[in-house]
């Protein structure tokens, strides 16, 4: 799914109105009906909606929603935040239509006019939409603060008032903290950054039938990886086939006291569909691997405690390097030799990235290699801390372009950055995955997919999607506090 800036969304709206054809009022009605459908699925009729409307088109959405919710049998009280002297044409139209259902409108000019809240009150935020380009001030800021102080449950329409729709460096200071955001057609770019998570709540994308051709015509370098797309990445298995047809992954990792990371990556590579998997580990890890992952082959290093020299068989089709590898100089020398000799798809994680970074040996990274850092690891790669999530994303994208590699910036909505400047945000995952070892599982998944001949960018995108799906499934069964990395492996596919 393409993601668009606020300006692009306005153009797509305009194209929809022109080509369908449909009036802007009718499109607003369609959006409000989509919100009603969602609300009817989620709420009983015993709640009271306090609908806060600005005087622009987002407020028009709110007024249309008030009328339709009233028709559906809900108790609604619309409040107009009087932040300007004149409303938009769409706002005025929907305001006049409230006479049809005899809904009384209340104007808010100051905090003393905020409604009384009871235990069944739910705020609906339809004050400002995607056009915001400066911090809130005046009556809007006061009302937003009043909503935060007065309501436990808030629904924002399209976007929480106060946050920008685009990636921006604007220093916004106050915003609605929504429990749910009902956003139209696609998530807004800003929703995908960590500092917005406390404001958007659960994001629900509502299809309002915007013009498909208009969306196709708009250029974007930002995408959200969706289920229907990545399912086509899945390698197909033929009836007449054998294990050799599905690749041979080599996992290089493990160190005395950290052999579990290599075990997790090895088992994940097996579970992701690789026909064969070999783990190269220090001699001390041989028994651990053979007992923990009997389906894998084990290749032991000459060193007892750490990896120092990795012979690569001609049968190997992809390599995953880094889980539990250790950080000694001897390990770096072995890694340096390995990377200088191979011409295979490779995924680099954890200690592999640390070793290359501390030695500033980025020239060792093969073209199209997949790097999987989290925020702290990427900052170590940069050699400095970044000031904001936006800067982190921009640096990761620039890094991928400069080094001709793929950077998988792990986190909520993991960002897969390719060397052409495209960024693919992942749509799966769960906070329960914030647990040691889950990154090692991801390394194994991607290595297993690479071994099967999937292109690096598809392996990265499909890998993080599968990883997130497994996390969601396990969290649903075990609860968000009880998930450990090994749980994800059995939940793959």
Give the list of residues 6+ apart from residue 396 with CB closer than 8 angstroms, or none.
Answer: 378, 407, 409, 415, 417
Known binding positions for (6S)-NADPHX: 57-61, 129-135, 158, 261, 324, 374, 440
121-126 and 276-281: which strand pairing?
Answer: unpaired
Return the H-helix or E-strand segment holding 104. Answer: none
395's enclosing H/E stretch is: helix 389-403
Of the chain, the end-to-end C-alpha distance in Å amounts to 22
| Residue numbers belonging to the annotated binding site for K(+) | 58, 125, 161
Q: Which residues belong to the annotated binding site for AMP?
A: 410-414, 439
Distance CA 274, CA 270 (A): 5
Those residues whose C-beta lies under 8 Å from the C-beta of residue 122, and which sit 6 or more positions away, are 43, 47, 48, 49, 50, 151, 153, 154, 155
Please give the torsion angle defined by the CA atoms of residues 33, 34, 40 and 42, in that order, rounded to the nearest 10 degrees.
-150
Please work out, in degrees rounded to the nearest 5, the angle formed at the alpha carbon of residue 11 by the alpha carbons of 181 and 164: 40
Strand positions, DSSP E, 215-255: 222-225, 248-252
Burial class (CB in 10 A: 0-12, 13-18, 19+), 239: exposed
Strand ranges of the sheet holding 121-126, from the earlier edge strand across to the other edge? 106-108, 75-81, 48-53, 121-126, 154-157, 180-184, 202-206
Count Cα atoms within 13 angstroms, Cβ side, for 131. Answer: 11
Beta bridge partners of 461: none
Cis status of the peptide bond prior to 16, with omega within 30 of 0: no
User: Please, what is the angle between helix 375-382 and helix 389-403, to 10°?
Assistant: 60
Burial class (CB in 10 A: 0-12, 13-18, 19+), 360: exposed
Find the DSSP H helices in 236-349. 259-271, 286-292, 329-341
Which residue ranges are tagged as binding site? 57-61, 125, 129-135, 158, 161, 261, 324, 374, 410-414, 439-440
Pairing of strands 222-225, 423-426: parallel
Q: CA 434, CA 216: separation in Å to the nearest integer?
A: 36
As given in the structure block, the two tokens for residue 15 are: 């194209």
């Amino acid at each position: 799914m393409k993601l668009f800036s606020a300006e692009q969304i306005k153009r797509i709206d305009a194209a929809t109105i022109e080509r369908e054809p449909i009036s802007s009022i009718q499109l607003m009605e369609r959006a409000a009906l989509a919100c009603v459908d969602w609300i009817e699925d989620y709420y009983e009729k015993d709640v009271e909606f306090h609908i806060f409307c600005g005087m622009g088109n987002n407020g028009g959405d709110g007024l249309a929603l008030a009328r339709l919710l009233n028709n559906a049998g809900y108790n609604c009280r619309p409040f107009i935040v009087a932040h300007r002297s004149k409303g938009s044409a769409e706002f005025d139209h929907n305001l006049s239509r409230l006479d049809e259902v005899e809904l009384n409108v209340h104007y808010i000019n100051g905090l003393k006019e905020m409604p009384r809240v009871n235990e069944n009150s739910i705020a609906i935020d339809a004050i400002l939409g995607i056009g915001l380009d400066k911090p809130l001030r005046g009556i809007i800021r006061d009302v937003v603060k009043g909503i935060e102080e007065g309501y436990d449950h808030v629904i924002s329409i399209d976007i929480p008032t106060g946050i920008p729709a685009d990636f921006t460096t604007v220093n916004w200071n106050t915003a609605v903290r929504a429990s749910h955001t009902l956003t139209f057609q696609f998530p807004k770019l800003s929703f995908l950054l960590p500092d917005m998570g406390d404001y958007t709540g659960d994001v629900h994308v509502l299809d309002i039938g915007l013009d498909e051709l208009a969306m196709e015509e708009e250029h974007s370098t930002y995408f959200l990886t969706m289920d229907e797309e990545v399912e086509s990445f899945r390698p197909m298995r033929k009836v007449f086939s054998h294990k050799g047809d599905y690749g041979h992954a080599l996992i290089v990792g493990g160190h005395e006291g950290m052999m579990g990371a290599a075990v997790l990556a090895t088992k994940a590579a097996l579970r992701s569909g690789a026909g064969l998997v070999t783990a190269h580990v220090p001699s001390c890890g041989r028994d651990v691997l053979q007992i923990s992952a009997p389906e894998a082959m084990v290749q032991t290093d000459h060193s007892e405690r750490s990896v120092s020299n990795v012979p690569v068989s001609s049968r190997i089709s992809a390599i995953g390097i880094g889980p539990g590898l250790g950080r000694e100089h001897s390990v770096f020398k072995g890694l340096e030799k390995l990377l200088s000799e191979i011409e295979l798809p490779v995924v680099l994680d954890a200690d592999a990235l640390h070793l290359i970074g501390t030695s500033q040996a980025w020239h060792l990274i093969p073209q199209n290699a997949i790097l999987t850092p989290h925020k702290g690891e990427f900052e170590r790669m940069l050699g400095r801390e970044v000031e904001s999530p936006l800067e982190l994303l921009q640096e990761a994208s620039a890094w991928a372009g400069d080094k001709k590699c793929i950077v998988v910036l792990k986190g909520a909505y993991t960002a897969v950055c390719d060397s052409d400047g495209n960024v693919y945000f992942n749509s799966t995952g769960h906070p329960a995955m914030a647990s040691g070892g889950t990154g090692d599982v991801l390394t194994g998944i991607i290595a297993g997919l690479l071994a099967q001949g999937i292109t690096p960018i598809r392996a990265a995108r499909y890998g993080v999607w599968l990883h997130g799906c497994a996390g969601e499934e396990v969290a649903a069964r075990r609860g968000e506090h009880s998930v450990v990395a090994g749980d994800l492996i059995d939940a793959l596919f």
